[in-house]
Amino acid sequence: MQLGTNVLINYILIFFILFLFLVLTRRLANKTEDKSYFVMLKSQKTFNLSLSFYASGMGLWIIASPAEVGWYGLGFDVIGYAISAATPFVLLYFVGPRIVQTVPDKATLPQYISQQYGNFAQVFVSIIATIYMSAFLIAEFASINFLFPEISKTSGLIVCTAIAIVTFLYLNISGFKASLITDRFQGISIIALLIIVLVLWISQNGISNIIQASYDGGLNTFTFASFKSALAVILAVTAAEIFSQGYWQRTYSAIDENVIKKSSIYAGLGCFVTVLILGIAGSAGAGFGIENPSLSFIQQIELNTLSRILVIGLCTMLVASSIDTLQSAISSTMALDLVKRGVSEAKIITLIITFGSLGLSFYVTNIFSVFLFADLLAVCLVFPAFYKIKSRKTSQGIVIPTSLGFVSSVLYRFYFIDLDLNPGGIFIPTDLYGLADLNTLGVGSVSYTHLRAHETPEHLVCRVGGEKKKGGGGGGGGGG
């Protein structure tokens, strides 16, 4: 009977937090033109944008995925994963202002791709970005399935469905503005609750015991294989995250270049510290003998009524902050880059992708591996997409190198990887230990060397001539 009462209280807490988000966004009903539904151009200062970057990047995955890496990996793996959480913001620091300057008053990265490469390349990049964001959604829902039954005895399916519906509803009311506003509240709450949970973890286990357990779990072991895996995850995550359109919506919302740069620094530092600490916690979990890698951090904490409420609040904030970001980003990509018909069709497709991801999440056994297939696609794409940012190129200059890189990676795994022993199979770039494989990702990134062959002056002349015949194409679809 007591268990039933506690579970009921946990449900009430989760639904109350979600209800607060609905109330918060209800007053922000956006009745302006469609384009403002996807971006708030030049409106955000450093503090708000820093919180927004941080909250949108720090989903529920941070409770499970860094712990998995710490549990399976060694010292370089933990450090590398923490660096990979920050490097997308390093890339935004350097590339973000240049792209905003080159293609102003937009909302997504594929709109820049459209102007620089053409409409076909825009669709190509948008599909890869959508695959990555869908993988992120699957990982978030899978994290709910792993964590919420463990910490609150609630049904993962019920919590997934409730969060998916509520975030979709408040985005439906106010669009991207709702995601930005909730980011501020979520960002502050996530930082505060994380500090409390980490203090609770340290106070219960003792700092000396945690250090010893992390050493027993391999944190102080540094091998060349671990170093290669760390480089691989830095390459993979940096490439993939830069195609998360939520970051580009926020980049275009910055008041000016200085705000983009300062916010990137603050958010990057925050993400690095967060993932590093939680990766160390995963190593400690391995040292303490916890058998479930995904739960190797959270199972170190004995939860009483108060601490359980804090952890449930933290997890609800984390998952809502990332899912609303992904839903808004997918919707903008659909409306501005793929469907190009306006808000209504984009909403329907986003809803289908959301619940499709929710269904697939119940087949996930490892959060980290969910990202890796999309990471491989992004690694093949990132160098062609950002090479010589301000130069115009042809669609072939992005499609051919990316496709060549992906096919080369698959062929490498088919011929040189023992697929009977490797847990990733042919399409997921893992090593024997289930961590990121540098060789596979390195083969994919070699597509960069083929880029110059598609950038000759003749190609550029043909492209300009073709645009004139069409009346000037390649501008990228505006919302509407």
What single string gives the DSSP state of each residue in 353-394? HHHHHHHHHTT-S-HHHHHHHHHHHHHHHHHHHHTTTTS---
Contact partners, residue 1, CB within 8 Å, separation at least 6: none
CA dihedral of 49, 51, 57, 63, whole degrees rounded to 10: 180
Half-sphere exposure in the Cβ direction for 447 (13 Å, CA): 30
CA pair distance 294, 66, nearest whole angstrom: 9
pLDDT at 80: 95
Beta-bridge partners for 430: 436
234's tokens? 């830095």
| Distance of alpha carbon 259 from alpha carbon 422, whole angstroms | 44
- Given a contact cutoff of 8 angstroms between Cβ atoms, the answer to whether 163 and 327 are in contact is no
Q: How much is the pLDDT for 447?
A: 54
Residue 379 to residue 108: CA distance in whole angstroms: 19
Structure tokens at 161: 């469905």
* Residue ranges, the chain, pLDDT below 70: 1-3, 27-36, 388-392, 447-480
Do 27 and 236 meet the contact criterion of CB atoms below 8 Å apart?
A: no
The SS3 assignment for 40 reads: coil
d(CA 244, CA 131): 10
